[in-house]
Amino acid sequence: MNLSYLFDAAHWDPTLSGGIPQLILSHLGYVALALLIGTVIALPAGLYIGHTGRGSFLAINAGNAGRSLPTLGLLMLMVTLLGLGLTPVLIALSVLVIPPVLTSAYAGMRSLDQRVVDAARGMGMRPWQVLTRVELPMALPVLMSGFRSAALQVVATATVAAAVGLSGLGRLLIDGLAVNDYSRVLAGAIVVAVLAVGLDLLLALVQRWVVSPGLNPSPKGPS
Amino acid sequence: MITFEDVVKVYPGGSTAVDHLSLELPTGKTTVLVGPSGCGKTTSLRMINRMVRPTSGRVLIDGRDVAEQDEALLRRGIGYVIQHAGLFPHRTVLDNVATVPMLLGRTRKQARTDALGLLERVGLSAEFAKRYPAQLSGGQQQRVGVARALAADPPIMVMDEPFSAVDPVVREGLHREFLRLQKDLGKTIAMVTHDIDEAIKLGDVVAIFRQGGRLAQVGTPREVLANPADDFVAEFVGRDRGLRSLSFESAADLPVRPLSEVGDLELDDAGRPVGYGSFTRADSLRLVTDLAIISPAGIAVRVDAEGVADGIVRHHDLVDHLAARRREQP
Ligand SMILES: Nc1ncnc2c1ncn2[C@@H]1O[C@H](COP(=O)(O)OP(=O)(O)OP(=O)(O)O)[C@@H](O)[C@H]1O
Ligand SMILES: [Mg+2]
């Protein structure tokens, strides 16, 4: 067990296909697509359920169901049904994104101070304006924490893409195991971990930037 | 003018919140809806801006049924002050105040400039503009709530217990500012409170509700204090309504005695009384009575606009004056 693979400059050549930079790029590509698809599906659904209170059962149980779903199993099933390719991978990963986003969107909407929402209507905001100008900004802290946990999970799990012949950092693990190159496996594990931490830090910055300081427990004004 | 025409509101649970309410709120005046908790004040108020729909009957503004108007546009034309302020926590004070002007299509810059002026009007300096609601005290939040409701300069204001979340001293200050503002602005105001003193102080018209959402009496504060319609109203306005009704009596024609009648009356160099409570012609009989009761010698000193003593009133003069007044107006 050593770090020689990770620190070999040859593996960091950005032009090399199969080099670490290109693997990171394709890995992040899967992550971004899965987050996009999962969010596009789960966010409106969660907001709607939270807003109307209809289907709360679904939103609450989605979290538990999602955690217990084996992604690799789902991926194999998708490959059997759809054949090899990007689509089954994206489906399997998006399914991972849906529960945390759905649950947090639901919880965010439920946690809103209804007196403030009432005030927004009383000021003469139309339903769409109430949603975009008051409800969403107020629910954002909860929403962002759901999105961040989804992102963490997908970064770690996107390694499965390599199991069905695609690229991504999973290549280092699978190919390393195949040839008993544990230095390569270790390099893969470390890069995935660093990527996960880095992405979470980035999202934490985004959160600080998009969430109003007025929503912090003890807001510090720019006064 | 806001008109309630035989309005009934029954909530889905089956409880009748408002029971056949017919009421007119005159233009340019403050009408205070007052009554014990749960008697339907908030429900009635929220029917004006369509936040609540009547089960039957109509609410009209200047003859137009609110039910036939576009909900959002109607509300933008009615300033709404919400109990406990209801400010948007994610927006700065300035942007809270700018909410309705921006909905009406004013530019952000214009709306913010106007908002700054409004903050000043409600007694908040510019340093508050960039703060968030959570960084304000309860009283400051209430002021922002009032500024936000005033921002689009609506002809009508509905205010639900706007001064309830603050201590008596702050409330006193807010009352003074409210009366000063309303004198300038002359809005048509519907205000809810459960505090009869507040109602009498701020209302041109007082509408007293009783349990079950029924109107017990409508009138000027003076009428309500002088002639309660029934035992409920009499009880509600309080046992000391006689004393309280003196707030509406001017001290202007109260007879005074020369200063020389009081031997030990101490005056400073400018002629202002020292150690005695004083009143002016503009004050009420209630204040004079209060001063005369507190003073060990049983006298109140009248002063002119500069504070210079120009006469005294003895306790028994006051009693005679009140008795004479009673004889004149049975
Ligand atoms: N949304 C609602 N659904 C069902 N019942 C309601 C609803 N809102 C109010 N009520 C009931 O209607 C009655 C009148 O309520 P309302 O809020 O108008 O009283 P209020 O005079 O404003 O009281 P308070 O002084 O306590 O604010 C109460 O009995 C209350 O329980
Ligand atoms: Mg109320």
- Tell me the pLDDT tens digit for each residue of B248-304: 888 888 889 998 888 778 888 888 888 788 899 888 888 898 888 888 888 899 999
Q: What CATH fold (topology level) applies to the domain B2-245?
A: Rossmann fold (3.40.50)
Distance in Å, alpha carbon of B201 to nearest chain A alpha carbon: 27
Give the pLDDT of residue B330. 53
Rg (CA), chain B: 23
Q: Pick from A116, A121, A221: which is nearest to B132 by CB?
A: A221
Identify all chain A residues contacting B88, using CB atoms and an 8 Å cutoff.
Answer: 116, 119-120, 134, 138
Name every residue whose Cβ is closer than 8 Å to that of residue A143 and which is 6 or more positions away in sequence: A43, A101, A104, A105, A108, A136
> Which amino acid, residue A197?
V
For tokens 């306790």, what's the residue? Answer: B315
Comparing alpha-carbon positions, the chain B residue that sits nearest to A119 is B86
Q: Per-residue pLDDT for chain B (330 aa), expressed as one digit of tens each?
A: 999 999 999 999 888 999 999 999 999 999 999 999 999 999 999 999 999 999 999 999 999 999 999 999 999 999 999 877 689 999 999 999 999 999 999 999 999 999 999 998 888 999 999 999 999 988 899 889 999 999 999 999 999 999 887 788 888 888 988 999 899 999 999 999 988 989 999 999 999 999 999 999 999 998 998 889 999 999 998 877 778 888 888 888 888 999 888 877 888 888 888 878 889 988 888 889 888 888 888 889 999 988 898 899 998 888 888 888 777 765
- CB contact under 8 Å between B131 and A223, yes or no, is yes
Give the pLDDT of residue B323. 85
- In B153-213 the beta strands, taken as DSSP E runs, fall at 156-160, 188-193, 205-210
The answer for B38, left when phi > 0, alpha when psi is -120 to 50, beta otherwise, is left
Percentage of chain A lying above the pLDDT 90 cut: 75
Distance in Å, alpha carbon of B204 to nearest chain A alpha carbon: 25
Q: Is the pLDDT of residue A223 over 50?
A: no
Q: So where are chain B's domains?
A: 2-245, 259-328
Closest by Cα among B187, B172, B171, B160 to B85: B160
Distance in Å, alpha carbon of A222 to nearest chain B alpha carbon: 7
Q: So where are chain A's domains?
A: 4-9+18-212
Q: Is the pLDDT of residue A219 over 70?
A: no
Residue A169 CB coordination number (10 Å): 26
Comparing alpha-carbon positions, the chain A residue that sits nearest to B46 is A122
Q: What CATH fold (topology level) applies to the domain B259-328?
A: CBS-domain (3.10.580)
Closest by Cα among A80, A76, A96 to A35: A96
Give the pLDDT of residue B112. 94
Comparing alpha-carbon positions, the chain A residue that sits nearest to B50 is A122
Quick check: B9 and B184 in contact, CB under 8 A? no
Q: What is the pTM of this model?
A: 0.83
Question: How many A/B residue pairs have CB atoms within 8 Å?
Answer: 77
Identify all chain B residues contacting A213, using CB atoms and an 8 Å cutoff.
Answer: 132
Give the pLDDT of residue A222. 47
The CATH number corresponding to A4-9+18-212 among 3.40.1410.10, 3.30.420.40, 1.10.3720.10, 3.30.410.10 equals 1.10.3720.10
Q: Is the pLDDT of residue A221 over 60?
A: no
Whole-complex ipTM: 0.83
Q: Is the pLDDT of residue A113 over 80?
A: yes
Quick check: B90 and A212 in contact, CB under 8 A? yes
Closest by Cα among B145, B160, B220 to B191: B160
Q: In what order do the strands lie in the sheet with B64-65?
A: B16-25, B2-10, B56-61, B64-65
Interval A119-142 mean pLDDT:
95
Q: Which ligand is nearest to the CA of B14?
A: 1
Q: Chain A residues within 8 A (CB-CB) of chain B?
A: 113, 115-116, 118-126, 129, 134, 137-138, 212-215, 218-219, 221-223
